[in-house]
Amino acid sequence: MNSQSKLQETEYVPLEQELKREPSINTKKRKNLKNVGLFALFVGPALLAFCVIVLIPFFTGIYYSFTDWNGVNGTINWVGLDNFKYLFTEDKQFQQSFWVTTKYTVVAIILTNVVGFVLAILVTQMLKTRNILRTVFFMPNLIGGLLLGFVWQFIFVKGFASIGQITGISLFELPWLGDAKTAFWGIVIVSVWQGAGYIMLIYTAALQNVPQELIEAAKIDGASRWQILRHITIPMVAPAVTVCLFLTISWSFKVFDVNLSLTNGGPFKSTEMLALNIYTEAFVNNRYGLGEAKALIFFIVVAAITIIQVTYTKKKEVES
């Protein structure tokens, strides 16, 4: 009798435990399914849109870069690396656009960041009008590139000519959009004027997080404003520098709307940037395959430069 009761006990306890565990397992499965469902509900549409708008066109574009498709009819012939050979050996306009874009990018990055940083220092001072100044400096960024280009085209052609006639200052009498050198600087002026306000906001947020105790201690120790800026302020805003450099590199390489509306690549295609050159090749000259080959080279170059920049500046952040 004792042995039977012991056997029943030993058999009954595990079964009871399993019955108790079973609802918890089902509950976990339900929670997991619920989490998967919520994830699919919120992330699914965005992921689908990203695939349709970005990934699928990206990979089809890579395919078309190895073809001679004109973008209109259904005849697509595989040409291999012929498009890329043509770009590096015969297409002089592509090479010139690449050089102009590189030169513009270097100048625009430096000026936009310097102007944005100076404006950020200005609006973080104890000025009564600092909020108004922030609004005024940021407003050009709210204007679309095409509209901005047409407005500045009127300023360069009509406004500067009128000021030059009244004042006699030679700077305003220059053919700003009629000469290759001045047209290039016209694009730079408009781009810096538009982008500096956005960069200013990022630097402003970073400057406001600099501990004032460090600055006060440096002043007590006799440090000058330049020494404080060089050894305290700039190292403390290094993460903002990384972000601003990344943004300005991306903006400068991809400049299109200002280039199109301000000069349309002129005079004589001397200011035609890469984005405008790709657009013209694909949609004006109806050589879509060749335009995709240019776009692929453009993507590789910009991706490589931005990766190198972010890696280098991140290391500098750690060192500082």
pLDDT tens digits, one per residue of 268-318: 899 999 999 999 999 999 999 999 999 999 999 999 999 999 998 888 775
Percentage above 90 pLDDT, the chain: 53
- 107 in Cβ contact with 184 (< 8 Å): no
Structure tokens at 93: 């306009």
For residue 177, the one-letter residue type is L
CA–CA separation, 310 and 241 (whole Å): 10
Give the pLDDT of residue 7: 46
Can the peptide bond before residue 175 be classed as cis, meaning omega within 30 degrees of 0? no
Residue 61 has a CB neighbour count (10 Å cut-off) of 18
Give the pLDDT of residue 17: 52
254 HSE (CA, 13 A, CB side): 12
pLDDT tens digits, 34-81: 788 888 888 888 889 999 999 999 999 999 999 999 888 878 899 999
Q: What are phi and psi of 205, to 5 degrees?
A: -60, -40
Give the pLDDT of residue 25: 65
Q: Is pLDDT of 6 > 60?
A: no
For residue 283, the one-letter residue type is F
Domain extent listing, the chain = 1-62, 82-319
- 275 in Cβ contact with 254 (< 8 Å): yes
CA–CA separation, 71 and 153 (whole Å): 32
Domain topology for 82-319: MetI-like fold (1.10.3720)
Query: pLDDT averaged over the chain?
Result: 87
Sign of CA dihedral 116, 118, 124, 130: negative
Give the pLDDT of residue 126: 75
First to last CA, the chain: 81
pLDDT tens digits, 244-277: 999 999 999 999 999 999 999 988 899 999 999 9
Q: Is pLDDT of 127 > 80?
A: no
Q: pLDDT class for 8, splitting at 50, 70, 90?
A: very low
